[in-house]
A and B are shown apart, each in its own frame.
Chain A
Amino acid sequence: MKLTPLYGEHKKLGAKLAPFGGWYMPISYEGILAEHRAARESAAVFDICHMGEFMFRGESQELDSAVTQDVSGLAPGKSRYGFLLNDKGGITDDLIIFRFDEKEFMIVVNAATSGNDYEALKKLLRKGDLSDISAETAKIDLQGPLSRDVLKEALELDIGLKYFNFAHFDIFGEKALVSRTGYTGELGYEIFINSSKAVDLWNKLLSDGRVKPAGLGARDILRLEMGYSLYGHDIDGETTPDEAGLDMFVDYEKEFAGKKALLARKAAGAGKKKIAFKSEGRRSPRAHYRILSGGKDIGEVTSGVFSPSLSCGIGLGFIKAGSQVAGDIIISDGGRVKLKAGITETPFLKETTLRN
């Protein structure tokens, strides 16, 4: 089990830790609900050092041939979300590409898939230079409506970045990348800094009384309230971006690895369809619960949680393509739990500070 540079800080804070994607990660500190509230109402800081970062030096066209998002059309100082696909058109990983300048890019990937991603990209990128900088790169996310003020006061950084824009700043004498992105739906920043400065940055942010440390438990609720997919749950190697309702992150104007298989699967008709639902009451829908309609089993829940912001259950799942859904659906554990639910749009939570 791998440890982040902040492991000692988590122990000092009395965090509950658990394995996640090969890493021993903080799940919660004070409590998941209090941490969720901090991110929605004030500011929360997350240790996201487990995620992988690669640098690519080469032509943008080369990267374009490997991933689904439009890389060549990306201006320096901006980042874009998309996918690396397998030869069946399924999702090997979801990733964000940051364009530094004409020929320099950073690719941010999930922790558990990072090794596979690196191998796959090595094969796909025939020209240029790909390197894994995960070990020396710490990633700390500051998320919440007050995060801009916190950065200004705690780090004396005046950050005017728009959503999905980034810039480099001097933090503790290191060149750090600050990106206006996150996984919570609130105004927030992802900070990439040399691992040797992770503890200093973490403690500096926490020295501001408006900031709470938050773990992966709160992060999971925050991302689900926005309807964001989690790799390994809502998207995986069997699922295409089209089936997952994420086709807008695929640039069909260009060629990319997996495109042929993806187009063939789209032409044959998707095998399943992603849905988002809200369930009645405080009981939580959970991953692997069944989705029923008119007494028929039509699919499976892939993520489910009690939403503290909405005071009801929310979830994502897949139903068989062509399923006729009239009115309510039932979410069931196959036993006593039967939750009445309605299909809805995402984000579940509409009023946030994401674009403030």
Chain B
Amino acid sequence: MDIYYTKDHEWVRVEGRSGIMGISAYAVKQLGDITYVELPETGKEITKGDVVCTVESVKAASDIYAPVTAKITEVNSALENAPEKMNESPEEEGWIAKLEISDPDSVNGLMTGEKYDEFVKSLE
């Protein structure tokens, strides 16, 4: 299983045609305490770069973008009543959606974990 990151701080774990997405530890640290997650609809087709959903912290609302082109097969409904899971475990329990990747080429151009760490360092 490979994990990739976008410049907008989403992550996507890819295994064949299956994917799972969320936002990075760096992103949740910047957002602060997350108080609300507007989950996407299951079955929705998303194109890489589109707004998938909105995450709200105490400070602001932020759009979350599709890291790949895919169909949403499941959403993490636990976040509805416990959005703090995103702060506590952004890259595991705080996942947002499971995906069926419809365009495998859309994975191209994403950053590996190592590249993303370098990218984040360059921002600080």
Contacts and interface: CB of A to CB of B under 8 A. Distances in A.
B110 to A, nearest CB: 27
Contacts, number: 41
A20 to B, nearest CB: 13
A13 B66 CA distance: 36
Contact of A217 (B58, B61, B87): B58
A31 B32 contact: yes
Given A32-B33, A33-B33, A281-B36, A286 B58 contact: no
A284 B38 CA distance: 11
A305 B57 CA distance: 10
A306 B35 CA distance: 7
A283 interface: yes
B32 A284 contact: no
Contact of A282 (B32, B36, B59, B87): B36
B67 interface: no
A22 B36 CA distance: 31
A31 B33 contact: yes
A283 B32 contact: no
Given A282-B83, A283-B38, A284-B61, A32 B56 contact: no
A28 interface: yes
Contact of B36 (A27, A221, A306): A306
B32 A217 contact: yes
A155 to B, nearest CB: 31
| A contact face: mostly helix, strand, loop, or mixed | mixed
Contacts of A305: 58
Contact of A33 (B58, B61, B80): B58
Contacts of A286: 61
A221 B84 CA distance: 17
Q: How large is the interface on A (under 10, 10 to 19, 20 to 34, 35 or more residues)?
A: 10 to 19
B32 A32 contact: yes
Nearest to A217: B58
Contacts of B33: 31-34
Interface in A317-350: 337
A282 B61 CA distance: 12
Interface in A246-294: 281-284, 286
A221 B38 contact: no
Contacts of A32: 32-33, 58-59
Nearest to B83: A282
Contacts of B35: 33, 282, 284, 306, 308
Contacts of A283: 36, 38, 56
A12 B38 CA distance: 36
Interface string B46-85: 0000000000101101000000000000000000100110
Contacts of B58: 32-33, 217, 221, 284, 305-306
A306 B56 contact: yes
B55 to A, nearest CB: 11
Nearest to A18: B59
Contacts of B84: 33
B36 A28 contact: no
Contacts of B36: 281-284, 306
Contacts of A306: 35-36, 56, 58
Nearest to B81: A282
| Best-buried of B33, B56, B80, B83 by chain A (most CB within 10 Å) | B33
A216 B92 CA distance: 31
Nearest to B35: A306
Contacts of A308: 35
A319 to B, nearest CB: 23
Interface string B6-50: 000000000000000000000000001101101000000000000
Interface of B: 32-33, 35-36, 38, 56, 58-59, 61, 80, 83-84, 87
13 contacts: A16-B32, A33-B33, A33-B84, A217-B32, A281-B36, A282-B36, A282-B80, A283-B36, A283-B38, A284-B36, A284-B56, A286-B61, A337-B61
Interface of A: 16, 27-28, 31-34, 217, 221, 281-284, 286, 305-306, 308, 337
Given A31-B33, A32-B59, A284-B35, 10 more contacts: A27-B59, A32-B33, A32-B58, A33-B33, A33-B84, A217-B32, A281-B36, A282-B83, A284-B56, A306-B35
- Ranked 6 nearest A-B pairs via Cβ: A282-B36, A33-B33, A306-B35, A32-B58, A283-B36, A31-B33
